[in-house]
Amino acid sequence: MRLSCPICGERDRREFHYGGAALERPAPEAGAAAWDAYLHLRENPAGRSRELWYHESGCTAWLVVERDTVTHEIHGVTLAAGGR
Amino acid sequence: MAELIALSPAGAALPKRIGAVTLTEAPFAPMTGISPHAGEVAQVSAALEAAHGLALPGPGRMLSGAGIEVLWFGRNRWLLIGAAPGDGLAAHAALTDQSDAWVSVIVQGAAGVDVLARLVPVDLRPRAFAEGSVIRTELFHMPAAIARTGAEDLRVMCFRSMAGTLVHDLVTAAEAVAARG
Ligand SMILES: [Zn+2]
């Protein structure tokens, strides 16, 4: 598997570290149910997933990767920090 | 006052010539990590240009002047080699002295890319990695920075504490390449 880092270009999987599902963080006052889901409940999709990957051996940017868990096809890679 | 003896990271292990490849340790030079404050890359670049005549290079690039090099060194990070950081930089960036933190080996010769192909998961041939290119990657599981400083010159940097392993890995790979004739 190879990922195209927006900063470094296409690199081998061994340079990256998996960082779990890419979730939207609830607002502080969102309530117990929303925070329980954010902390503990995960989808386990057979298909498209949004994941965080860390370009550990490269530029050290956190990336949001859209990946198909069945085919390992990569649909998109963006910087988790956006333009910052 | 005691006279301290300066020891280079690779010490007596280098230089070495193996087949058509030469491994040499780069001479000691002051190094400073430059991490611009949020949103202040342009100010840092201007201050660097005023003090050292070089702007901050873009991702994956390096610039060199009279005895000075500036390497892109990761997301929002650069490395100044060859001079103490000039006035004006500290106002816009976090500066860290890294002079003794790295071991730098110059891999010289056209076969240098064949040696590193055994250690690094990135294509370093000149057509993919032209002069002035820099990457952060890993070298046989060690964090590394590699720059193409000449048509047949690659500068390989690892953490100083791993100097012995770096030399061992480069020598082993170079001997394997040389054995193929
Ligand atoms: Zn990267």
Going by C-beta distance under 8 Å and a sequence separation of 6 or more, which residues neighbour residue A21?
A: A42, A43, A49, A50, A51, A52
Is the CB of B122 less than 8 angstroms away from the CB of A84? no
Contact criterion met (CB below 8 Å) for B98 and B32: yes
Kindly give the residue spans of alpha helices, DSSP state H, lying in chain B.
41-52, 112-117, 163-179
Return d(Cα B79, Cα B67) in angstroms, integer. 14
* Chain A residues inside the 8 Å CB shell of B143: 57
Return d(Cα B56, Cα B75) in angstroms, integer. 13
CATH 3.30.1360.120 location in chain B: 11-28+100-179
Backbone φ and ψ for B102, nearest 5 degrees, come out as -125, 150
Instruction: List C-alpha distances in Å: B115 to B45, B107, B124, B128, B179.
Output: 35, 9, 10, 16, 12
Q: Please give the pLDDT value at position B161.
A: 97
Return d(Cα B8, Cα B25) in angstroms, integer. 8
What is the tens place of the pLDDT at every residue in B125-149?
999 999 999 999 999 999 999 999 9
What is the tens place of the pLDDT at every residue in B8-63?
999 999 999 999 999 999 999 999 999 999 999 999 999 999 999 999 999 999 99
CATH 3.30.70 location in chain B: 31-97
Please say whether the structural domain B11-28+100-179 has been given the CATH code 3.30.1360.120: yes
How far does B60 lie from chain A, in Å, by closest CA? 7
Is ipTM beyond 0.95? no
Return d(Cα B145, Cα B135) in angstroms, integer. 6
pLDDT surpasses 80 at B176: yes
Return d(Cα B147, Cα B124) in angstroms, integer. 9
Contact criterion met (CB below 8 Å) for B153 and B107: yes
Return d(Cα A26, Cα A24) in angstroms, integer. 6
Which tokens in the block code for residue B62?
A: 């390096």
Q: What angle is formed at CA B143 by the lines to CA B60 and CA B33, rounded to 5 degrees?
A: 60
Tell me which residue of B47, B45, B31, B35 sits closest to B77, measured CA to CA: B35
> Token match 């047949």: residue?
B152
Q: Which CATH class is domain B31-97?
A: alpha beta
Ligand 1 mean position to B82 CA, how many Å? 26
Q: Please give the pLDDT value at position A84.
A: 58
Domains of chain A: 2-79 (3.30.2270.10)
Is the CB of A9 less than 8 angstroms away from the CB of B60? yes
Collapsed DSSP state (helix, strand, coil) of residue A17: strand
Q: Please give the pLDDT value at position B181.
A: 73
What is the tens place of the pLDDT at every residue in A1-56?
899 999 999 999 999 999 999 999 999 999 999 999 999 999 999 999 999 999 99
pTM (two decimals): 0.93
Contact criterion met (CB below 8 Å) for B159 and B103: yes
Length of chain B: 181
Return d(Cα B15, Cα B94) in angstroms, integer. 35
Which tokens in the block code for residue B172?
A: 């082993």
Ligand 1 mean position to A37 CA, how many Å? 30
